[in-house]
Amino acid sequence: MKQWRIGLTVGVVVAIGAGFLFFRSDWPVRKEQPVVINDIAAPPIPTLNPDRVAQGEQLYAQYCAACHGPKLEGKPDWKTPLADGSYPPPPHDNSGHTWHHNDELLIRIVTNGGDTSYPSKMPAFRDKLSQDEVIAILDFIKSKWGNDEREFQWWNTAVGDQQ
């Protein structure tokens, strides 16, 4: 049986509530793992910057929530075309398809308006938002996804076009 080593020089002490947990100094340090889909690896998912996520939340509320919903829920029946053939605004949460697209396409859709793969009434925001602001909005949206969606979207961004 391995011996526990407790001490500031050989272990890490973390206070939780009123108690303490002691970690063994020989526990492996968690290393970020690549995202692997179909035996193709992408670099580890980048960490979202909390300041940029907060900025993106404010910008989303100002520019996106009126159409895509304050909770990223989109419009009901967003997959059903309207009378003019266009589609209602889709959700940006896990129930939508935003996470299926790479960063480049998402930035282009927000900047230039709509998605050319289907009729859309989404306006272009190139005159209202800088590229950094668009990325902040996307980081806010990504912060609401589950790990599986984040991994897939990142893999698609990092290596999707290389497959």
Encode pLDDT of 30-76 as tens digits. Answer: 456 777 777 777 788 899 999 999 999 999 999 999 999 999 999 99
Query: Residue 102: inside a domain, yes or no?
Result: yes
Query: Residue 158: inside a domain, yes or no?
Result: yes
Query: Residue 55: inside a domain, yes or no?
Result: yes
Query: Residue 152: inside a domain, yes or no?
Result: yes
CATH number at residue 56: 1.10.760.10
For 5-28, give one letter per residue: b (16+ CB within 10 A) or e: eeeeeebeeeeeeeeeeeeeeeee
CA 143 to CA 49: how far, in whole Å? 10
Query: Residue 15: inside a domain, yes or no?
Result: no
Q: For 106-159, write each residue's pLDDT tens digit.
A: 999 999 998 767 778 899 999 999 999 999 999 999 999 999 999 899 989 988
Q: How many distinct structural domains can be found in the chain?
A: 1
CA 26 to CA 23: how far, in whole Å? 9
Which residues constitute the domain of residue 47?
Answer: 33-162
More confident residue, 117 or 84: 84
